[in-house]
Structure 1
Amino acid sequence: MAPKPKPATPPLSCPDWLDDHARAHWPTLVDSLKRRGLLQDADPSSLIRFCQALAQYRRATERLNKDGQVITEIHPQYEVEKVHPAFRVQAELVKQISMLLKELGLLDAVHDSSDPAGSSHAASETTDSSLDGLAAWLARARRGCDN
């Protein structure tokens, strides 16, 4: 007996309550999942969390670009230099994005097709329109952190 074909996946619409930055990632993510045949198994809440995490990462990065990684707290009798809170937020978001890429099946697809030499083109690969580039950059970053 032939296996039953899976029913067609209804189109996923982006929730209207997501902010503009998160909404901008939705079509790229859905298209990437569709190309890899992963869309029908994707948990919609994972897609939402992924888009939100990318938007939050962008905001944290913009804040760091504006303020720098170190801030100075001024107290009445002294000053203290501290790591900017957005730096920690950004680091946590890298972990969350990496976990969500794996959960969605996108990180494994990148590992299977990534350059074994691990060439670094992070600047060109992490544009908003390049989900595959983001996944490749995160995969290399994670390998670098795990060594």
Structure 2
Amino acid sequence: MGRRGPPPTPTHLLRLRGSWRGEANRNEPEPERGVPECPDWVSEYAKAAWEQLVPLLHDMGVLYLIDGHALVVLCQTWGRWRKAEEFINEHGESYPVRDDNGRVKYLKKFPQVTVAQDCARILNRFFGEFGLTPSARSRIDVSTGASSDGGGSDHDNKSKFLNIG
């Protein structure tokens, strides 16, 4: 049986928020800041997501090299969600199942609907982990965790919507 309750907030996010708890675990490993490389094998939608998310996360000061694997899962899941949603937009959410006489017996949901719903749930969790939701961002104080490039960035003066591919 796993731990109970919500997962602990990462220390770097506690520090960005200005929380005193950010200093509670002095022995926590400090991962190396940086921009992870996008693997070659990810889907085209995942690459597009990567190219848009990485600069945003870097500007927010919440990206570490070790986050690359989690970022791959986030981007691949985005790609699956996008593909499923495109199918649904083109074909609808259900199709008729007919009897031997050609009459409609009932409507059956396309599998892509379940894929889209499952991916959306996973994406919402990942968006929260990376500070990509309004609620998650409201808990981060970027004035104490400015981007490592030292100056202002696109993040400071532009509102960006996750518009990938």
TMscore range, shorter length:
0.5 to 0.7
Partner of 1:102: 128
Q: How does 1:64-79 map to 2 (within 5 A)?
A: 64-77=88-101, 79=104
Structure 1 unaligned spans of 5+ = 1-5, 114-123, 130-147
For the residues of structure 2 that align with 1:97 and 1:42, how far apart are their CA atoms? 19
Ranges of 4+ aligned residues in structure 1 off by more than 3 Å: 110-113
Partner of 2:36: 12
Radius of gyration: which is bigger? 2
1:43 equivalent in alignment to 2:73: no
Instruction: Kindly provide the amino acid, as one letter, of the partner of residue 163 in structure 2.
Output: T
Identical columns (%): 25
Q: How many pairs does the alignment contain?
A: 115
Instruction: Kindly provide the amino acid, as one letter, of the partner of residue 102 in structure 1.
Output: G
Partner of 2:52: 28
Task: State the 1:128 CA deviation.
Answer: 1.5
Q: TM-score under structure 2 normalisation? A: 0.59
The SS at the match of 1:82 is strand
For the residues of structure 2 that align with 1:73 and 1:89, how far apart are their CA atoms? 20
Residue in structure 1 matching 2:108, options 68, 79, 82: 82
The SS at the match of 1:43 is helix
1:92 equivalent in alignment to 2:118: yes
Report the more deviating stretch, 44-53 or 84-93. 84-93
Q: TM-score under structure 1 normalisation? A: 0.65
Structure 2 unaligned spans of 5+ = 1-29, 142-159
Instruction: Kindly provide the amino acid, as one letter, of the partner of residue 9 in structure 1.
Output: R
RMSD: 2.9
Q: Which has the higher helix share?
A: 1
The SS at the match of 2:64 is helix
Partner of 1:133: none
Task: Give the conservation status (yes or no) of the 8 Å contact 2:31–2:65.
Answer: no
